[in-house]
Structure 1
Amino acid sequence: MEAVRSLVPLVLVIAIASCLAEFNATESEGKSSCRATVGGTSQSDAHRALILQLNPNEDCTWTLQRPENKSIRLIFSHFQLDPSGGCENENIKVFDGNSTKGSLLGKVCSKHDYVPVFESSSDTLTVQIVTDSVRMRRTVFILYYYFSPGASIPNCGGYLDASQGSFTSPNYPNPHPAMAYCVWHIQVEKGYKIKLNFKDMFIETDEHCRFDFIAVYDGPSTTSGLLGQVCGYVKPTFESSADALTVVLSADYANSYRGFAASYTSVYAEDVNTTSLTCFSDKMRVIISKSYLTLLKYSENNLQLSDPTCRPKISNVVDFSIPLDGCGTIRKVEDHSITYTNIITFIPTSVSEVITRQKHLQIVLKCEMEHNSTVETMYITEDDIIQNQSALGKYNTSMAFFESDSFEKPILESPYYVEMNQTLFVQVSIHTSDPNLVVFLDSCVASPTFAFASPTYDLIKTGCSRDETCEVYPLSGHHGRFQFNAFKFLRTLGCVSRRKRDVSSYKWKTDSVIGPIRLKRDRGASGSSGFQYQIHGEETQNQPFNSLHLFSFMVLALNIVIVAVIIVRHFVKQRTDYKYQKLQNITNGSSLNI
């Protein structure tokens, strides 16, 4: 069969000008006629393999068209272009439609590290190839065929999100279907890599894997970095650099064999010599090295938490993901902190009910939330063996605008365009599984700049409304809510520094920033600068703004106090005698609004 494959291009090499309607060549403006040659199968088929031999200084345009109510899939399974040429000087462009005026589906050049695949929205597609002046041999292998977008092949691709699994080509171990294009997306937990092993493979053999092939990508899509393009009888293995991997099976119209069988496992990405502990808003996570357990002559199967029904995930490490409100985790409120504690113990396998020769192992886990941070401590006791570790983290908070006081639909557009005096609804949330924490709104400051330079305006201060339109909603668990009416700044007054107040016992302080807000009449001059909301922990970038638009938007900064429920019950009633004073107009009547 390989001999037949290699003879076909030699027999059917023809000049472009003599191509039939299914694959037409047109002369490009300002260039000589295209001098490339094409080799392939019968031109009257609805599918075709093309071998293009390109010369320097080409500018060739082809249109693929066939009167069928189907789409076209175009695959560049192998190409050799000028490796020293830039993508602007030498490239292949694919357009959706019957001319280069259609939508650009994509571009192919020598710098691309993947197998380019394009699909049209109708039965017509246009290809334009431009080469530079470098004299070298250029070869492009193209496979195209018509297909029905709604049709599907059973077991052809899918999403795999378990920590380990297996998958096969369609019909395995029987021959896979012709013109199959299957994509498998593998996603494992963050912090892990993926090991992929092909246990069996029989794909049509070719030196460059041009006809049938498997492509493996280091990432979540088919444009991620190509780890390998394989075919034949090989049994390769691949390893991702992160937590995602993409596998593609592409087949042409002939010579289908049994395909492949593959399996994958997740591998913890970081090197852990002994143990590590990380605390999050909703869980604590401990990683124990299997080699460390082996050194101590322990088995990972004999480790358990305070709640033995909560089991770890075992790969090259033992991974306990422990919710703060479950698996036996104990919560304790102390001065200036909330602590969460759990214990991993080793259950020895005794050969006798009377004696044991194994030491008693305990790993005590402790996450401490204090002053806008998380302190992680862990110590291991094995009789006289003690190991201590610590790290630092933060509460995970976010703030967003909502359409109404039901707080069901967040505002996704940015900037957020509003009318003067329009009521705005704001919600701040803490992302944690601990049901005993509530969010208390400590202060909210509005500013016409991201740097919060003067002037600033207090909407909320020390938990009390300072604006007559600002209404703070009752405490509601993990959400703090308030509303106010849009207003305008009149003029800047210089630079004023902001100081954080001290945090009293049982309170933990954090900040969130949201904005900008613009008046609808400023939409045309808004530009593209701005953001909708920020997750706590990310720094706000200082962005340049046109001075004419400096006050045409507003940013809010909100200080949040996270309070233990046991203390909330004893809050004194909030003071409500604050009213805001209108700012004096010191600008001869001219102002810009927010």
Structure 2
Amino acid sequence: MQVLRQILLLLPLVAALALAEDNSVESTGVPRCGASLHEQNKALRIELNANVSCTWQIQRNVNQTIRLIFSYFKFAPSSSCETESIKIYDGPSTNSPLLGQVCNDTDAVPVLQSSADSLTFHITTNSVVFTRNFFVFYYFFSPETKIENCGGHLTSPNGTFTSPNYPAPYPGFTYCVWHIQTAKNSKINLQFQDFFLELDQNCQFDFTAVYDGLTTNTGLIGKVCGRAQPTFESSSNTMTVVLSTDYANSYRGFSAQYTSAPLPGPVEPDTFLTCSSDSMKIVLSKSYLASLGYSETHLQLNDPSCSPVVKDSVIFSFPLASCGTTKKDEGESITYTNIISLSATGNIITRQKSIQIIAKCKMENNSTVEVIYITKNNIIQNITSVGRYNVSMSFYDSGSFSKPVRQSPYYVGLNQTLFAQVNLHSTDPNLVVFVDTCIASPQPDFGSPTYDLIRSGCNKDDTVVTYPPLAHHGRFQFNAFRFLRSFPSVYLQCDIVICDSNNTNSRCTKGCSSRQKRALSESSYTWKTNTVVGPIRLRRDLRSADHAESLTKARAEETPNVQQYSFYTLSFMALISNIIIVVAVILKYHKHQAGYGYQKLQSSY
């Protein structure tokens, strides 16, 4: 009976596997070596032999982003990236910017996203006689679409998380990433208490991938699907969990729990790096240097003239673009790198190791900054949230952009020309700001309705004039308007692109593009953020407010007179009533004293 029950439980999984295989085989009716693809989504099972060079191009015709997932790949044994690989390009050809590369030693499940209208991947194989197998699927999606309980940052020592809709079936075309980070000098134990995903032999359709670190580029611990209760352990205090699903055969997903535990061995010395929009700060404890056999006198940066401050620790603090710091435009980020060299002592020989400490500040493009003006005692305060580059936006009183507007709300006249400027606060002189998209909304949370002023660098409103990028400033102007249905305020939210001014092929130099808002993996720009400013109100609302205030004040002044009049009237009525009562009592008393009475009259007929 127990065996029969287990067989019955496995039947849905077997059926799902068969259906999944049928779907994948059915979806591979394309030429074996390359194709041009236009469907909204498609799965490709690819088999290639030796000495081939094949190109696939995916072209979208809707305003969405392409997500491409290589959920299974098997190259020839012992092959290298130089001899055979998959190269993915952000555009219509192999001349487009390179998004990524997949090789035999790729320690991840590659997931790539386009920023262009098309995406190309090219597979080359070497001369080894071997059947290479690849399974790849893609789909179009809107970056603005959010799925509840899909990914996030978990920083507690212990915690739980579930797949979207759990225990109901997870949505199709889901891609969620959870980053787990616990205390320093700890490790993470992850246990899936309930786990039910679509089953197939290589976990090609729906899968969960777990990484040993905070990225999905390398450090894959494992990839699982089907029914199981898998457990994973990290080597440090960071771990990343990914859920990826296709369009069919959704199940209830998973419920996971993680705990943290101290790492065995000695405590890591006090060394850390902090990066801001202006500077880099490196702190090295003396005990750490002593454990390496060095002292603070052995240290130097790329530029030896930049010396540290030595207290309880050795502290290097310097502007980003100084002290020999090198800057690299990596497409989806800008990285500032400096190296601390620990020079060995001795004139002829040494038995000390040659050590370098590489410090990198990576200004990631998926950070966001929001700035909103708040007035308190006539002082404007800028409230800034998480972000690496410090960005703010202000209105100015003229096209000279010399005098910012200090009032909040900013009252303006209908059709008045408004001048807006985005400011980047950074010590790096080789950066330029580009206003990519600006939308307006009557609500500070930018719910419906919204109105496009600028979209993908293109002016969508007839009154908008954009200024050429000028160093750390992005400028534009437009005429004031109001939303219908009596909305009193207008807020602006702008997407800002920050580029290396030495890159002549960056997004900042391309201006207007017909593409919709790009994915965060945009390779032609370096860093992206958004900023908010508002509210803006029309002057007639100010007059109405003043009139209402005056009316309230007048009514308040009239109130004592009305109250006084009412008091006198009430007192007079009370006096009259008392007089009538007294007269009635006196008359009644006198009638009784005179022998007066009532006598019933008899009727006569």
- Please, what TM-score do these two structures have when normalized by structure 1? 0.46
Which gives a bigger RCO, structure 1 or 2 (Cα 8 Å, sep 6+)?
2
- Please, what TM-score do these two structures have when normalized by structure 2? 0.45
Q: Which has the higher helix share?
A: 2
Larger Rg: 2
